[in-house]
Amino acid sequence: MRTVFALLLLTTQAHAWEFTPSPVCTLTETGDAGTLTVTYDASLPEYAIEITLENGTWPDALTFGMAFAGGDPVSIGTNRHIISGDGRTLTVRDRGFGNVLNGLEFNTRAYAVVDDFTVGFDLAGIEPAITAFRDCPALNMT
């Protein structure tokens, strides 16, 4: 029985928020639907969020939105998103990302929304990674 349980654990994909400080500050989560990556390049300075779908493509639409649900719900939107040539990755770049970072840190779920297409990400366990991400720009400037 223990062997069966161990095999089940090994075959189940582990999901965990990860932080890396170089070459740019990067916060990443890979879930069943795809991968959400937030970066900050202090040399520009510029933030970016990329959401790459595991399967399928993003619909072509005029606006992109994110909704955060949980402790401090907020919704944000933009028309400045770009979809990659293969249609799998949606990217937004900006110099300010306070609402995105607060949405990730203070909620339990994040939803990326284009028209009626929605992809959700679990924010459980993000605390250490987002704290390191917020502290990262100062580290990369030294």
Residue 1 domain-assigned? Answer: no
pLDDT for position 135 = 94
pLDDT for position 12 = 40
Strand 64-69 to 34-41 pairing: unpaired
Domain total in the chain: 1
Question: Which CATH number belongs to the domain containing residue 89 in this structure?
Answer: 2.60.40
Residue 9 domain-assigned? Answer: no
CB neighbour burial string for 9-30, b if at least 16 within 10 angstroms, e if fewer: eeeeeeeebebeeeebbbbbbb
pLDDT for position 62 = 96
Residue 10 domain-assigned? Answer: no
Residue 49 domain-assigned? Answer: yes
Residue 123 domain-assigned? Answer: yes
pLDDT for position 140 = 52
Domain of residue 81 covers 15-140
Q: What is the pLDDT of residues 25-53, one digit of tens each?
A: 999 999 999 999 999 999 999 999 999 99
pTM (two decimals) = 0.86
pLDDT for position 137 = 76
**Which parts of the chain register pLDDT below 50?**
1-13, 141-142
